[in-house]
A and B are shown apart, each in its own frame.
Chain A
Amino acid sequence: MALTGMDIYKLLPKKNCKECGFPTCLAFAMKLAQGGVEAEKCPYMSEDAKTRLSEATAPPMRTVRFGAGDRCYTLGGETVLFRHEKTFVNRPRFAVAFSDTMSNEEIQSKIERMNKVDYIRISEEMYVEIAALECKSGNKDTFLSLIKRVKDGCKKAVPMIITSDPEIARAAVEECRESGPILFGADEQNYEAMVNLAKQYNLLLGVTALDQEKLYDLVQKIQNLGYRELLLSTGSTALKQVFDDVVNIRRTALVSQDRTFGYPTAVFAHKLAKEKMMQLAIATLFVEKYASVIVLDDIDYSLALPLFALRQNIYTDPQRPMRVEQGLYRIGSADENSPLLVTVDFALTYFIVSGEVERSKVPAWMLIPDAGGYSVLTAWAAGKFSGKTIARAVKEFAVEEKLKTREIIIPGKVAVLKADIEDELPSWKVVVGAEEAALLPKFLRDYTGKKVS
């Protein structure tokens, strides 16, 4: 539990000597509880009090790392259950599952599909970050040859070594140690050997036990060995139970403030369902609530497009609305005579409007001024979407040089802006567009139809 000012006061020497810069120990304790001052400012605190204070002020969920070089990722470190309270900070990473009992062709074709999914969405590169490599053969050499193939085949993916045999695990780690693999994992039987191995190579260690209680006990034992770079997963095989596990591990850490479960979790979606679309459904659930590594059987664009987009959405900062960059955007094969629309830089508005323009199949231009990242009506009410801001964007993005049209279509909801804009842009004609984005396709077709006839 977080300490209150009174709790901290009880830990202080109560000398009221003012050396901390506060008039009394109590005043210092109150400030400390708010996080406004360092505990070290009091030179007279006992060692015991110091450790208790630092434990109490440590974040409830650890931030852990895996990977190496520019493929280094952080997981965990979350502080809230809902993103409106505070941003979710470390996005989950996706894995594709391989095993050493798969045929060569199967391995090869999976590698190819993994490499194919690599694209940029709103300035973020999207690809599968992890190759989950499971030793099912029980044979070290067979497993090592799988690791080698995938390592050479998918240069971007960090390996996650999955075996419960410490001997095989050691050989596997040595095979790919330079890429900072995840070691999965420690269980009730092998945890001492696995912790030693993870310690030696400084690896993120997967920990697994049958259910929440057993996992809790095992984590305590591992923490007692002095290792805290952990990734948790229960052995539950039904979706309902896994959801229970993942939600309650997170709540134990953040609500009960019990750091034994203060670690990120992994979900093996491919073990919960065979079918691809069901795996997609499961992965969607756990991107939202609360997994940090999500393993799928395979990847293609039909899975990647929704999953990566969802992840990007859920992990954006809710305090700062997503804004699109200001500028002049070409939709379809627009040329210098195509219609020009203007709307705000609020990402949601931009996406909806550009989607409707695309749907209309009418090539067009969209001008996005600096409208403060608000929706149309809010930006207008705040004076951020006005004749001035629109005129400034027309100049800044050299619209008059790039386009021949001198008509600008404004959102129907701000028809009142017409005169204001025409004052600022005397050589332009303002056309009042559709009231709703959904009506834009018809509006644009009518608008261009009129031009031709």
Chain B
Amino acid sequence: MTYKKPVQKLAGKIREITLGENLKLGGESVLPFYSFDGDTGHKPVIGMEIWDVHPENWPTTVMEELGDRVRNPVEWAKFCEEKYKPDFLCLRFVGANPDMGDRTPEECAQIAKEVAEAVTLPLVIAGCDSNEKNGKIFTKVAEALADKNFAFLSAVESNYKEVGAAVGLAYGNIVVAESSVDLNLAKQLNILLMQLGVKPEKMLMNPGCSAVGYGYEYVITTLDRIRLAALDQNDATLQLPIIMPVSFETWKVKESAASVEDVPEWGDQEERGIAMEISTSVGILAAGANAVVLRHPRSLEVVREFINSLIQ
């Protein structure tokens, strides 16, 4: 017998979504990195995390490289764009947390506007830990950045009407539908947003992310099932590119957060943090994510090289 290489032809295709002016996501008609089956679409993209406040507990070498620029999100964003060349920037309003200064939506909008004017990369806007507050922040920021086609992390079940209406309908930006690690919840939220009138080309999804070791099997299985539903069963409500803020999850788990004094045998803390960030990213990229947000420039470099060596 001679070898007959198997090929999997799938019926569906992930929708092509443009972030900002010309950063294209999705478009694949095969499982992640399955170039042997067909068209892998646009290369997965990587964004870097920027905060509106001085970060606490960030890796030492990152803080050293950023220097005083971390006091000013505009300077910080410019520096990242030039030095690390990510595909997009993720501006995260940590300072809007009630216990972190409770920054007002108007102030957030002002900062977002200044950052957007200072850089050429597309932005992804992330909120704070309160979904209620995020509804308000996103409304103001989306207004200030009207029709920029920037993505907003995220609309969840409890605020999707407010976020969807402002971000996706009124101000021409992209709504990221975030659900918690379940195919049906992801599908349901996508449908609700579409019923609200948000066009699929103004949508991305985040079906729930965690760090490796922390219920990560649910994340991978949810991604597997979403991608099979979209590609194999041609389910149009799930054919959206996926974006995941990996760094939001990986840097707070103990593998990254415990100091060498806490756990001497674990060795260098920063190495551990980078490794958790890389492994978590690669795992979800291999299961279907089209975009990840990272914190450490070293992770960016490695994940980019990884993507490039699988898609030439």
Residues of A within 8 A of B (CB): 82-84, 116, 121, 212-213, 216-217, 220, 238-240, 243-244, 247-248, 251-252, 255-256, 258, 260, 275, 277-278, 280-282, 284-285, 288-289, 300-303, 305-307, 309-310, 312-314, 316, 318, 322, 347-348, 351-352, 355, 358-359, 436, 438-439, 441-442, 445-446
Contacts and interface: CB of A to CB of B under 8 A. Distances in A.
Contacts of A220: 1
A305 B276 contact: yes
A217 B3 contact: yes
A212 B5 contact: yes
Task: Provide the main secondary structure of the chain B interface.
Answer: helix
A306 B276 contact: yes
B275 A302 contact: yes
Contacts of A302: 266-268, 271-272, 274-275
Interface in B204-261: 210, 212-218, 220-221, 224-225, 228, 252-255, 257
B217 A301 contact: no
Mostly helix, strand, loop or mixed at chain A's interface? helix
Interface residues of B, number: 62
A314 B265 contact: no
A256 B6 contact: yes
Interface of B: 1-6, 8, 33-36, 97-99, 129-131, 181, 210, 212-218, 220-221, 224-225, 228, 252-255, 257, 265-268, 271-272, 274-276, 278-280, 282-283, 286-287, 298-299, 302-303, 305-306, 309-312
Contacts of A213: 2-3
Contact of A313 (B4, B99, B212, B253): B212
A306 B215 CA distance: 13
B298 A277 contact: yes
Contacts of B35: 240, 244
B217 A83 contact: yes
Contacts of A255: 6, 8
A316 B219 CA distance: 13
A181 B4 CA distance: 32
A277 B268 CA distance: 14
Nearest to B275: A302
A82 B30 CA distance: 15
A281 B279 contact: yes
| Closest A-B pairs by Cβ, 4 of them | A309-B213, A348-B215, A306-B279, A216-B3
Nearest to A312: B213
Contacts of A436: 129-131
B254 A355 contact: yes
Nearest to A308: B213
Given A83-B217, A306-B278, A355-B253, 4 more contacts: A238-B309, A306-B279, A348-B218, A355-B252
A318 B217 contact: yes
B135 to A, nearest CB: 14
Given A243-B33, A303-B275, A305-B255, A83 B3 contact: no
23 contacts: A83-B224, A212-B5, A217-B2, A220-B1, A248-B36, A260-B1, A277-B275, A278-B302, A284-B286, A288-B286, A288-B287, A289-B286, A302-B266, A302-B267, A302-B271, A302-B272, A306-B279, A314-B216, A314-B217, A347-B215, A348-B210, A352-B210, A358-B254
B136 to A, nearest CB: 16
B3 A310 contact: no
A247 B5 CA distance: 11
B58 to A, nearest CB: 14
Interface centre among A213, A302, A305, A442 (most CB of B within 10 A): A302
A83 B222 CA distance: 10
B310 A240 contact: yes
A239 B309 contact: yes
B278 A281 contact: yes
A284 B129 contact: no
Nearest to A350: B215
Contacts of B302: 275, 277-278, 280-281
Contacts of A351: 213-215
A418 B53 CA distance: 37
A212 B282 contact: no
Contacts of A247: 34, 36
B34 A306 contact: no
A306 B33 contact: no
Contacts of A318: 217, 221
Contacts of B310: 239-240, 243
B25 to A, nearest CB: 21
A288 B2 CA distance: 29
Nearest to A438: B129
Nearest to B298: A277
Nearest to B266: A301
A78 to B, nearest CB: 15
Contacts of A314: 216-217, 220
A313 B217 contact: yes
A313 B220 contact: yes
Contact of B283 (A260, A310, A352): A310
A232 to B, nearest CB: 12
B213 A305 contact: yes
A441 B268 CA distance: 26
Contact of B279 (A116, A239, A284): A284
Contacts of B253: 355
Contacts of B220: 83, 288, 313-314
B275 A280 contact: yes
Given A244-B36, A256-B6, A82 B228 contact: yes
A83 B306 contact: no
B33 to A, nearest CB: 6
Among A121, A251, A313, max chain B CB count under 10 A is at A313
Contacts of B255: 305-306, 309
Nearest to A286: B286
Given A256-B6, A310-B213, A348-B215, A240 B278 contact: no
A27 to B, nearest CB: 34
A305 B217 contact: no
A12 B137 CA distance: 73
